[in-house]
Every structure is written in structure tokens, then in C-alpha cells.
Amino acid sequence: MKKKLVLLVIGYFIALNVSAQLVAQRKLDSLLNILDSKGMIKGSIAVSINGKQLTKKAFGASTQTLYRIGSVTKLFTTVLIFKLVEEKRLSLDDILYKFFPDLPNAKKIKIRDLLYHRSGLHDYTKDTQFENWKNQTKTSEELLTIIRSKSPDFEPDSKADYSNSNFLILGWIVEKLSQSTYAYFLKKKITQPLKMNHTYFGSEASGLDTLSSYSYVNGKWKTEPASNLELHGGAGAILSTPEDLLIFMDGLNSGKLIQKSNWNSMQIILEEYGMGVFANKYGTSPGFGHNGRIEEFYSALWYYPKDKLILAVCLNGIYYPRVDLIEEILKSCTGISFAFPFSEDLSLPDSCLGNYSSGNLKLTCAKDSTNMVIQIQGQDILLDPVRRNYFMNKKMGYFFEFFPDKGEIKVKEKDNVYLFRKLTY
């Protein structure tokens, strides 16, 4: 009798869990279908909970189409560095001088400083006219010359600041110590063991099912020119799919790639940075992961331990703000209530009308008998409702989220968020 009761209780909780996942799946599918019907996203999304795939959806492509994942590559590079540490070929306390003695502060910079963005090395994509040569071919020596030509931004380990140079260099260190190409070592240590059949490095993906990326300009999608992936190396040259990214993050979290103690070490945060990861960027519970952007490809890979949830996003065009997309996916999956976009047609409280500023930039929120209007830099931007206290102008690609109690507006554009505060006189 006691055994039957236990089995009944177990069955009850299994049924509850299955039911909750079905509700989450339906809510998530509804959200993504709304955004797709409005033409606001291009790409593919996959989510898993407790090791089981909750959903995968593609918009304008197949689920096996490859996307440039940009800086999500840094997670892979960090894992390869830890593989070398576990194989006793590298220490996090090794100094950069051992590998590249003529780089600025090479005797002071440790491997862990590169991983934590604490090296002070200037970002090779900034203040170097990168836009003029991003589609050219350059050797590693030419890229090293560019890094050497810039003075350090700060003393090593004195602060943290994001720099792609750190992970470009880490990618080269992987090649030096493995005595192979990054692509080969990636395949040997990560993609083949995990059977990630749709993940490639740089030109290795030539001729496969890849996409262009698109920006949204004046109400239309415009093709963006592609950069040469070889220039991004260990900082951003991987192509993958959301499904493969789920496999990667599951392998990382389960100890299939590196020791769990090293995965835990990656999650230790110093001044907002972990080693190859960020923390708590979205949602209300702790999460670890990384975003990527290269041209108009937007990617995200995040793990939430409390809910055992992994979220992978690969987009080649976005009009809806990425922060809203990810927040609403998380809410859909974790049972947090929210209003679907475009489900309500609501006016704005009069308390939100008035003048706002962000630094030297000013805007005015006004309304006439028929329209809400944002006036900024001599332009009148007509607003259409998204949901309560949230409006957009589709042609320009701007979203305006009002916070009446705080007297604030968040102006959102793809991946950017600008905070305006109401002026009082």
C-alpha cells in the first residue's frame, strides 16, 4: 500500500511538471508567432528545460541554418583555454610575455587577466578604422601590429573593460599550445565529443547553409555587408545553430567539457565580468552566459540554474529590442505573467507628457486628438501602442517604454537602451 502511495505521489508531480512545460511551450510559441507575424525578427530560437528541448523555431530559415554567433565564441575559447589548463599545458597565472613578448605590458598580463577583460589591451576593433578593413584579409602578425600600435587603456588587473583583443590573443594561444588550428582543436575537444554537427570556425563553414544579416532601415530590411570572419578569431569567428548551442551549454554545465570546478570558476564575477561569461543580465534569478553581435547577427546563450533552463538565440535581423525578446522568453518559460506585445491598444497617462533629457539630448512627449508624438531633434515621431506604457515607431525602429511613477522613458533600438528622465522646473 505504501509503495503504491509513493508511486502515485511521484506520478502526480511528474504530471504537474509535464503540464507546466506544456503551458510554457504554448506561451512561448504564442509570443514568437506574434513577433514573426509583425516581421520583427529573423532567425532561430531554441530553449531547453531540465535537459529536454522545450521549443525550437526558425523564422525565414531552417533550424539547421548556420548563424555567425559573434562574441558567444568567447565562451568556446574560454572552454578551450581550460582544457589546456586541465591538460597541464597552461596555467591561468602564466604571463602573456611567454607567448607574445612584444605586446604592451606583456610581463604584467596573466592569462586570467585576458579571460576577465582586465589586461588593459586596447580593442583592435576600436579607433583603428576597423570598418574600412573588416572585409579584408590580415595575418595574425598584422593584427598583432595593430594591437601593439595602441597604448594600453589601463594597468593590468587595475580594472575591467571589454576588449576583443583579449580573446583574439587567447585564440592564438590555443593554436600555439595545441600545435593545431583553432578549428581543429574546437572540433577535437568540443564539437565532435558532443556531436555538435552544425558548429564551425571561420572559413570552415564556406559553402554550407549560411545567411546574410539585415538591418531595419526606413521600414525595410537592408542586407549588411559581411566582415572577414578570420579577423575575429577566438573573439568571434564561430558559426552555429541554437540547437547546437543548447548542446554546448548542457555539456559545459554537466561536466562533459571541463571539470565542474572550472565551470564554477568561470562564473566568479569581478566587476561585472566572469571568465568568458557575464552574470544576471536578464530575468530575476541568477543566470550566466554571453551575447554576441557581428554585423547585424545577434546571438545569446544563457543558462539559469534555478530553472535548469538554457536559452539560445541566433538572429540575422532584429527589429524588436533584444532585451525585451530575451526577458519575455524567460517569463514565458518560467511562468511569470506579462502582457504579450500588441495585445492591447492603450493610451498613455497624461502624467507622462512633458520634457525629458539624457545628457545633452532632449525629447518631448506630447499628444494631439489622435496621436502620441515624441519630438526629438526637430523630428515628430508618431507612436503606436505595443502594450501598456510601451510604444513604438516601426519605420524608424524605435521603442519607447514609459515609467510614469519614476518619470522615466527607456528608448530602445535593437540592442541599445537609452534612459531619459523627466525635467522638472
Residues 14-19: contacts with CB within 8 Å, 24+ apart?
Answer: none
- 2 band by pLDDT with thresholds 50, 70 and 90: low
Section 262-276 average pLDDT: 96
- 14 band by pLDDT with thresholds 50, 70 and 90: very low
Please check whether residue 42 lies inside any domain of the structure. Answer: no
Same domain, residue pair 295 and 413: no
The residue from 308, 334, 360 where one domain ends is 334
Same domain, residue pair 94 and 209: yes
Residue ranges with strand state E in 265-345:
278-279, 288-294, 297-304, 309-318
Q: What is the pairing mode between strands 220-224 and 398-403?
A: unpaired
Q: What pLDDT sits at residue 9?
A: 46
Same domain, residue pair 368 and 293: no
Same domain, residue pair 124 and 186: yes
Same domain, residue pair 105 and 244: yes
Q: What pLDDT sits at residue 206?
A: 76
Please check whether residue 19 lies inside any domain of the structure. Answer: no
Say which residues have a Cβ less than 8 Å from residue 9's Cβ, sequence separation at least 6: none
Q: What pLDDT sits at residue 11?
A: 47
Q: What is the pairing mode between strands 354-358 and 361-367?
A: antiparallel
Same domain, residue pair 105 and 191: yes
Please check whether residue 79 lies inside any domain of the structure. Answer: yes
Tell me: pLDDT of 201 over 50. Answer: yes
Section 166-187 average pLDDT: 97
Tell me: pLDDT of 330 over 50. Answer: yes
Domain CATH number, residue 306: 3.40.710.10
C-alpha cell belonging to residue 370 = 489622435
Please check whether residue 179 lies inside any domain of the structure. Answer: yes
Closest Cα partner for 80 from 233, 210, 228?
Answer: 233
First to last CA, the chain: 75
Q: What pLDDT sits at residue 15?
A: 39
Please check whether residue 295 lies inside any domain of the structure. Answer: yes
The residue from 286, 310, 334 where one domain ends is 334
Query: pLDDT for 294-314, tens place per residue?
Result: 999 999 999 999 999 999 999
Tell me: pLDDT of 168 over 90. Answer: yes
Domain CATH number, residue 392: 2.40.128
- 16 band by pLDDT with thresholds 50, 70 and 90: very low
Please check whether residue 103 lies inside any domain of the structure. Answer: yes
Residue ranges with strand state E in 242-306:
278-279, 288-294, 297-304
Q: What pLDDT sits at residue 3?
A: 59
Please report which helix (H) or strand (E) contains residue 398, including its range: strand 398-403
Q: Across all residues in the chain, what is the average pLDDT?
A: 91
Confirm if 240 and 196 have CB atoms less than 8 A apart. Answer: yes
Tell me: pLDDT of 20 over 90. Answer: no
Same domain, residue pair 300 and 176: yes
Q: What pLDDT sits at residue 22?
A: 76
How many folded domains does the chain comprise? 2
- 70 band by pLDDT with thresholds 50, 70 and 90: very high
Please check whether residue 176 lies inside any domain of the structure. Answer: yes
Same domain, residue pair 236 and 189: yes
Total number of residues shown for the chain: 425
C-alpha cell belonging to residue 404 = 510614469
Please check whether residue 48 lies inside any domain of the structure. Answer: no
Q: Is 232 left (phi over 0), alpha (psi -120 to 50) or beta?
A: alpha
- 19 band by pLDDT with thresholds 50, 70 and 90: low
Q: Which residue has the cell 566568479?
A: 268
Predicted TM-score (pTM) of the model is 0.91
Same domain, residue pair 297 and 272: yes
Same domain, residue pair 387 and 319: no
Confirm if 297 and 205 have CB atoms less than 8 A apart. Answer: no
Question: How are strands ordered across the β-sheet holding 200-201?
Answer: 67-68, 238-240, 200-201
Q: What pLDDT sits at residue 13?
A: 40
Confirm if 286 and 280 have CB atoms less than 8 A apart. Answer: yes
- 187 band by pLDDT with thresholds 50, 70 and 90: very high
Radius of gyration of the chain (CA): 23
Section 37-62 average pLDDT: 89
Amino acid making up residue 190: I
Tell me, what DSSP letter sits at residue 244?
Answer: H
Section 172-181 average pLDDT: 97
Pick the range with the lowest mean pLDDT from 22-26, 355-359, 408-412: 22-26
User: Of all residues in the chain, what percent carry a pLDDT higher than 90?
Assistant: 71
Q: How many angstroms separate the Cα of 65 from the Cα of each of 28, 155, 327?
A: 21, 42, 24
For 74, the 3-state DSSP assignment is helix
Q: What pLDDT sits at residue 349?
A: 86
Same domain, residue pair 329 and 366: no
Same domain, residue pair 375 and 412: yes
Q: What is the pairing mode between strands 354-358 and 309-318?
A: unpaired
Say which residues have a Cβ less than 8 Å from residue 49's Cβ, sequence separation at least 6: 21, 24, 307, 308, 309, 310, 333
Q: What pLDDT sits at residue 220?
A: 87
Closest Cα partner for 340 from 37, 20, 17, 21?
Answer: 37
The residue from 277, 304, 334 where one domain ends is 334
| Domain assignment of residue 386, given as a range | 350-422
Tell me: pLDDT of 7 over 80. Answer: no
Burial of 262: CB neighbours in 10 Å, binned 0-12, 13-18, 19+: buried
- Report how far residue 202's alpha carbon sits from residue 327's, in angstroms, rounded to the nearest whole number: 30
- Report how far residue 333's alpha carbon sits from residue 162's, in angstroms, rounded to the nearest whole number: 31
Confirm if 408 and 345 have CB atoms less than 8 A apart. Answer: no
Tell me: pLDDT of 125 over 80. Answer: yes
Q: What pLDDT sits at residue 211?
A: 86
Burial of 371: CB neighbours in 10 Å, binned 0-12, 13-18, 19+: exposed
